[in-house]
Structure 1
């Protein structure tokens, strides 16, 4: 067993923990199991490096990110193989994630040189208003297992671009991708201490220690709403800047006049990306009663034809879920829906054998009180319920504490835009199954989070605004 660490990983502890392949539960590698004392060292390194990195010209910081983008794309297949092994993601999905993740480095390399302030006369004409933006300082970045590359670069990119230093705490299930990205950044010229990776099974203790340091000024977290609530409370003790990308419960609305072929294509993308293990995954399908049977039947045919297996095989469409606990919850939600009257059109039962596999599943006639319409399923299950009116569709779509993304299919653009305005979500995919884009602001409303990632807005999460009043 090999203990892995990157040049930008703290290695002061002798302990280690195993990283498993969810396809067969075998041990891939072992990584350092960092603790609170390592967190102290990480903050010290980030604090020491902060001044020099912030003072670097934006063009130099951008050059590091651009080199990292190039290296990631040169090693796309290698990184994809790593993601598939520790995450279980299909080969095609993993290749797509690497390209998507690398694009955050390129996007923020381009944005790094465009951080502008403003200068104007105050309305009374008595002074000048000079506004500038400065890096916030040391940032703690906490990322999940479902997109181990993209969730890391989406935070690292803007933080480094504006001159912050950062400490990345990846999920214990998928630390290898984070370490590989740290190594790439080091190869691209990132100075020592600017980025530190802490791999740990003691996430709560390590993050709590990180947030206790005065020099830490920002926390960016992607994960469950439950953990996000705890971290917001913890961050409030020191009034830290927070950016939270939390849970989702995305509705997928198919109106009477929708192009069903397009809607089915979009449903496959929105539901099956990473086997349904995505906060943006379509979680609740609401289809007009006039087309629900056809839509459900054809979706079941498409999902039932997908190949399930070890992602090491490039022909496999759907890999395993991340662990047994996740698979058990998926089965519980399916069983609850069936017990309440839902019909299984394909899938619906846990297979025997090694690995955390679950078959693509389509349920129809799902009652409104089924748990699966109210809880994030995080698996390859499409629960379908019918609606009769647009008012009904909007009502059930918005009937959730979450508001990350909504999907809407209609041939009438005017109707689509009008309904999109009424959907309580930070993002709406109109006649599209994919919403994520590094150039677009990613984030939700209600209990799906605070702030935005991606776009120019994501850059400003890592900046403080300074106003100087003066005359000349």
Structure 2
């Protein structure tokens, strides 16, 4: 099956105009379901980023249309943008599936989540308040929250629409101007959304989009002296480069949402059928290409063998195929490099003594498809037990006591998320409070909402997404703000919740 959608936007979007890259270079967009090129996109590099930054900088000048705009008017523009995205949901959904290979049902959920995020932050635009402070002496002191300036937003390929909206919503609500680099693997839907900023009547220069590669366009954003803040979602390795670039340039603020190796802990009293399905979805959804995926499944010894048996049965039934096939539960890996990395890690698991129950191979068809794979008898010394695979590979560990599993779950450089399945309130809260991770799901997985902050501990990142004050505001006059590390715990109150990453839509 295929899409008939027209790929209209292939250039850079700077100062509300579509322009060619200064070098004239282009790069191909590959459909991961077929391995074939579907479009050539203008490739931004340092010169183009500089042009975009200058446009954003001009739009942020003291007497510009944007900076003189009322906060409620900024909110109205965001609402207008949200409505335009919703009006074009079919086109954006198909472009997203062409880009990433994910099934249409997942793509439409992602686009609608983006609408939800923009709507939420539109409502916050006129609610950014300072404080009046008591002071010694004959003075009147107060705080004023101000936009930080030009923000560089570097968006990943796995959720290019929802994370784009997650970043632009709070930044625009606060009055910042933006230079956005979509991932080179998935620029099509983002470029279509760029066209909607002009239709929504955002002033020229407020939003600019420069598709290109990380070592060129991404590095230019990270090193630019006129960018005050970078928000990046992606790998830990690249996050470290961005943090170093901040130190070497202008000490720009950074938000980094990075890799993960999240534990998924199943206690003996859990509803077994429900826990098996949730654990399956937490690692197999979007072919495992989720930073917070439950990639380390810890199962109590009393139910271990039965859990493995049922997990293997479920993995064998999973339908993997083209995103435009309504039967597909998940699609391909995003590109050939990702495919090769996953297959290499699978081979390492077999060589290091893990027991392969199913999958483990590239599917015999065009595109970058990997069979749903299940290993048991995994330990933390194996590569599949400690490295982020970013593929449909379920690694199942055994544990005996609560103290043992807490120690094992925390024995990682990452700390993005964790899942706990148990009917015991004391057990769930003990584990949730002890795990060093930014989000803890109890009896549910991968549940997100615009009202909830998201981010990690340790090498899973710095800062939190969806926190408007932490993300893009600074405090002036007599006051400074320190944001402490934040953990959010989501407790599912019923076992009737059907799985969907974007079920709240």
Range of TM-score over shorter length: over 0.9
Mapping for residues 337-376 of structure 1, pairs under 5 Å: 337-376=349-388
TM-score, with normalisation over the residues of structure 2?
0.89
Is 1:4 matched up with 2:10? Answer: yes
* 2:50 is equivalent to residue 40 of structure 1: yes
The verdict on how the C-alpha distance between 1:316 and 1:211 changes in structure 2, with shifts beyond 3 A counting, is closer
Residue of structure 2 aligned with 1:214, choices 225, 230, 250: 225
Between the aligned partners of 1:120 and 1:3, the Cα distance in structure 2 is 50
**Does the residue aligned with 1:185 lie in a helix, a strand or coil?**
helix
- Asked whether 1:232 is paired with 2:253, we answer no
Counterpart in the other structure of 1:458: 468
The Cα of 1:125 is off from its aligned counterpart by: 5.9
Write the distance in 2 (CA, Å) between the matches of 1:356 and 1:305: 19
Aligned to 2:295, the other structure's residue is in SS state strand
Q: Distance in 2 between matches of 1:439 and 1:87?
A: 26
1:138 CA drift (Å): 0.4
Q: Which residue of 2 is the match for residue 286 of structure 1?
A: 298
Give the root-mean-square deviation of aligned CA atoms.
1.7
**Aligned runs of 1:120-199 on 2, under 5 Å?**
120-122=133-135, 124=136, 127-199=139-211
Q: 1:94 corresponds to which residue?
A: 107
**Which blocks of at least 5 consecutive residues in structure 2 are unaligned?**
1-6, 480-505
Looking at structure 2, the residues matched to 82 and 343 of structure 1 have their Cα atoms a distance apart, in angstroms, of 39
Give per-residue Cα distances to partners, 1:115-162, cap 9 Å, x unaligned.
01110313x465433011000000111111111111111111111111
SS of structure 2 residue aligned to 1:252: strand
TM-score by length of 1: 0.95
Cα displacement string for residues 201-222 of structure 1 (whole angstroms, at most 9, x for unaligned residues): 3x22323333444321111111
Contact kept? 2:266, 2:298, Cα under 8 Å: yes
Cα distance, 1:435 vs. partner? 3.1
Give how far 1:233 is off: 0.4
Q: Distance in 2 between matches of 1:41 and 1:250?
A: 40
Task: Number of aligned residue pairs: give it.
Answer: 465
The 2-side partners of 1:228 and 1:100 are apart by 25
Partner secondary structure for residue 220 of structure 1: strand
Structure 1 residue ranges without an equivalent (≥5): none
Instruction: Identify the range of structure 1 (223-232 vs 53-62) with the bigger mean alpha-carbon deviation.
Output: 53-62
Displacement of 1:10: 4.5
Instruction: Please give the alpha-carbon distance, in whole angstroms, between the structure 2 residues aligned to 1:420 and 1:235.
Output: 33
SS in 1 for 2:188: helix
Q: 1:181 to 1:125 in 2, by over 3 A?
A: same
Distance 1:158 1:140, change over 3 A: same
Matches of 1:95 and 1:267, distance apart in 2: 23
For residues 104-123 of structure 1, the aligned pairs below 5 Å read: 104-122=117-135
User: Does 1:387 find its partner at 2:387?
Assistant: no
Counterpart-to-counterpart distance in 2, 1:33 and 1:419: 47
Contact 2:60 2:206 in 1 (8 A): yes
Residue of structure 1 in register with 2:499 after alignment:
none
